[in-house]
A = this chain, B = another copy of it.
Amino acid sequence: MEKLAIGIDLGGTNLKGIIMTEQGEGTHLTRVPTEAKKGGQKVLENILTLIDKLIQKEGSKDNIIGVGIGTPGFVDRDGTVIGGAENLPGWKGTNIYGPIQHRFGLPGTAGNDVTVAALAESRFGAGKGVRNMVCLALGTGIGGGLVINDQLYKGSHGMAGELGHISVETNGLQCNCGQKGCVERYASAPGIVETAIRFSQELDEKHQTQFSREVLRKPQALTSKIVYDYVKKNDPVACRVNEFTCDKLAHAIGIIVNSLSPDRIILGGGVMMAGQIIIDTVSRYVPQYCWPEIWKRCDLAIAQLEENAGVLGAAGLVFEDFTDRRTLDDRRIVD
Q: A residues near B, CB below 8 A?
A: 74, 82-84, 130-132, 144, 146, 148-151, 153, 155-157, 159-163, 165-172, 177-179, 181, 251, 254-256, 258-263, 288-294, 297, 326, 330, 334
**CB distance B263 to A156 under 8 Å?**
yes
Q: Given the known inter-chain contacts A148-B148, A149-B149, A289-B179, please indicate yes or no for A297 contacting B169, CB distance below 8 A.
A: no
Partner of A170 from the list B162, B170, B259, B297 (CB cut-off 8 Å) is B170
> How far is B158's CA from A132's CA once the two chains are assembled, in angstroms?
12
Question: In the complex, what distance in Å separates the CA atom of A255 from the CA atom of B149?
Answer: 21
Task: Give min CB distance, A70 to chain B, whole Å.
Answer: 17
- Contact B160–A293 (Cβ < 8 Å): no
- B residues less than 8 Å from A132 (CB atoms): 155-156, 160
> CA separation between A288 and B166, bound complex, in Å?
12
* Contact flag A261-B330 (CB < 8 Å), given A82-B293, A149-B148, A255-B167: no
Whole-angstrom CA separation of A260 from B255 in the bound complex: 13
Contacts beyond the supplied A157-B297, A178-B292: 6 A-B pairs with Cβ under 8 Å? A131-B334, A156-B297, A157-B294, A159-B291, A170-B170, A177-B291
| Complex interface: chain B residues within 8 A of A263 (CB) | 156
Bound-state Cα–Cα, A330 to B148, Å: 13
Interface centre among A169, A288, A294, A330 (most CB of B within 10 A): A294
A161: contacting residue among B159, B165, B255, B259, CB under 8 A:
B259
The 6 closest A-B pairs by CB, nearest first: A155-B261, A159-B261, A162-B258, A160-B261, A83-B293, A159-B294
Chain B residues closer than 8 Å to A294, beta-carbon distance: 157, 159, 162
* Structural contact, B293 and A261, CB atoms closer than 8 A: no
CA distance A84 to B291 in the complex (A): 9
Closest residue of B by beta carbon distance from A263: B156
* Contact yes or no, A166 B330, CB < 8 A: no
Beta-carbon contact of A165 and B291 below 8 Å: yes
Q: A159 touching B297 by the CB < 8 A rule?
A: yes
* CB-defined A-B contacts under 8 Å, sample of 26: A83-B293, A131-B156, A144-B259, A148-B148, A148-B149, A149-B149, A149-B330, A150-B330, A153-B260, A155-B262, A157-B261, A159-B261, A159-B294, A160-B259, A160-B260, A160-B261, A162-B290, A163-B259, A165-B290, A166-B255, A166-B258, A167-B251, A167-B254, A170-B171, A179-B289, A256-B259
Which of A156, A181, A254, A330 has its CB near the most chain B CB atoms (within 10 A)? Answer: A156
Give, as a whole number of angstroms, the nearest-CB distance from A44 to chain B: 21
Q: Give the nearest-CB partner of A131 in chain B.
A: B156
Residues of chain B lying within 8 A (CB to CB) of residue A149: 148-149, 151, 153, 330
